[in-house]
Amino acid sequence: MGCARDIVEYVGVPRFWWSDFPLGHSAGKPHDNTSQHATLLGALDLFEQARKPRTTRQSEQIWAPDESWKADFMSIKHLDAKTIAAMKRRHEQDRAALHKIKQG
Measuring CA to CA, how many Å separate 13 from each of 9, 40, 57, 77, 101?
Answer: 6, 17, 12, 36, 32
Across 16-20, average pLDDT: 94
* pLDDT of 93 higher than 90: yes
Q: Report the pLDDT value the prediction gives residue 70, as an integer from 0 to 100.
A: 87
62 and 78 assigned to the same domain: no
Confidence band, pLDDT 50/70/90 cuts, at residue 34: very high
* Residue environment code for 53-88, b if the CB has 16+ CB neighbours within 10 A, otherwise e: eeeeeebebebeeeeeeeeeeeeeeeeeeeeeeeee
65 and 90 assigned to the same domain: no
Across 7-25, average pLDDT: 92
50 and 22 assigned to the same domain: yes
39 and 61 assigned to the same domain: yes
Cα 73 from Cα 52, distance rounded (Å): 34
* pLDDT of 75 higher than 90: no
Cα 47 from Cα 75, distance rounded (Å): 35
Q: How much is the mean pLDDT over the chain?
A: 92
Range of the domain at 82: 74-104
Across 20-28, average pLDDT: 92
